[in-house]
Amino acid sequence: MKILVTGGLGFIGSHVVVDLLQRDYEVCIIDNLSNSSLKVLDSIKTITGKSPHFEELDLRERDNVRAYFKRHQDINGVIHFAASKAVGESVENPLLYYENNVGTLVYIMQELSKLEQRHLIFSSSCTVYGQADELPITENAPVKPAESPYGNTKQIGEEIIKDVCKVQPDFCAIALRYFNPIGAHKSSLIGELPLGTPQNLVPYITQTAMGIREQLSVYGDDYPTRDGTAIRDYIHVVDLAAAHVVALERLIHKKSKANFETFNVGTGTGSTVLEVVQAFQKATGESLNYRIVDRRPGDVTAAYADTTKVNSELGWKAQYSLEDSLESAWNWEKAVRKE
Ligand code: WQD
């Protein structure tokens, strides 16, 4: 079975590629290296002892996408990660996000529609729910007006896929709505590449503990939560990777109940920012320098998954705890700094 992973050298993509290779899938990676490096390919080979096919390609080049699929008519499925994902950047540069996240999805789907096997796993996000009215969040929660162009591209992406699946019964797709992916592979050979100042909480925590950042700023302690700081559902990236393979196999083995499905992929447990800080200190023995500052615009108070559907229908459940994830993130940070 040949699986195309776009953005396969990225944070989540690389962990999915490792999982696929270890399950003896033939893997092809497309990546434009805008947010990753070829060192990740070497690490994948070291971890698995296998070499995925790799091609550096920018999916915004429609002709190149078309030519690629002509050379790979025997693809059994596509897991589509390639996208820009910085919320703040998307506000500053919306057209970059609509071109890179929406335009490339259209090109991929145009080519996939010509193949025998039309299976697509789409990287979506819990950000589509905004601040959900009810917690934990189920897949039936209403999709709210996006808080950022980034979030909007995920909503639009799902709508595009839904519309195509309506008119192409053989086109089968699953959108995985991630909560907050954190951590790294146990080998510490792959993880979230630290490019620039981290926007996300956990890489900022590990860089503060490493002394690269002076102090963690906790964005607000006046939320209506148990300790005043915002709540999220932090899921180990290795658990998240496994969810992609289970979802792909659901499509390949025709186990879906409809040709477009969505699943919330989280642990089902919410943690406040201060609980994450405490868990990090406990898991690593490091003490963290932090201070409370104002809220970050656009942040929601709380988001954590209702995992009933993903547990019962997809047959997947997160295995790692928050402390496991934070320890793996710290081990990755130390390994990256040694290079
Ligand atoms: C988590 C919590 C912050 C940094 C975003 C995207 C989502 C997905 C994951 C791509 C919040 C607080 C953070 C810091 C802090 N991205 N925080 N100090 O915003 O929940 O989700 O990243 O797929 O789509 O929306 O993640 O890690 O940025 O923030 O206090 O230096 O940590 O306020 O409460 P977020 P995050």
Q: Give me the sign of the Cα torsion angle 18, 42, 120, 153.
A: positive
297 CA → ligand 1 middle, Å: 11
| Cα–Cα dist 197/300, whole Å | 21
pLDDT-derived band of residue 87, with 50, 70 and 90 as boundaries?
Answer: confident
Pocket probe for ligand 1: among 11, 123, 155, 201, the residue whose CB has the most ligand atoms within 8 Å is 201
Domains of the chain: 2-182+234-265 (3.40.50.720), 201-232+268-305+319-338 (3.90.25.10)
Catalytic (active site) residue 178: no
Tens digits of per-residue pLDDT, 103-117?
999 999 999 999 999
Contact status, residue 270 vs residue 232, Cβ threshold 8 Å: yes
Tokens of 296: 């970050």
- Mean pLDDT within 157-182: 98
pLDDT at 298: 87
219 CA → ligand 1 middle, Å: 10
Tens digits of per-residue pLDDT, 36-53?
999 999 999 999 999 999
Indicate the average pLDDT of the chain. 96
Pocket of ligand 1 (CB under 6 A): 85, 87, 125, 127, 178, 180, 199-201, 204, 216-219, 230, 232, 273, 296, 299
Going by DSSP bridges, is the β-strand pair 231-232/271-272 parallel, antiparallel, or unpaired? antiparallel
Tens digits of per-residue pLDDT, 219-229?
999 999 999 99
What is the distance of C-alpha 34 from the center of its chain? Answer: 16
- Mean pLDDT within 118-128: 96
197 CA → ligand 1 middle, Å: 13
pLDDT surpasses 90 at 24: yes
Got the DSSP string for 46-95? Answer: HHHS---EEEE--TT-HHHHHHHHHH-TTEEEEEE--S---HHHHHH-HH
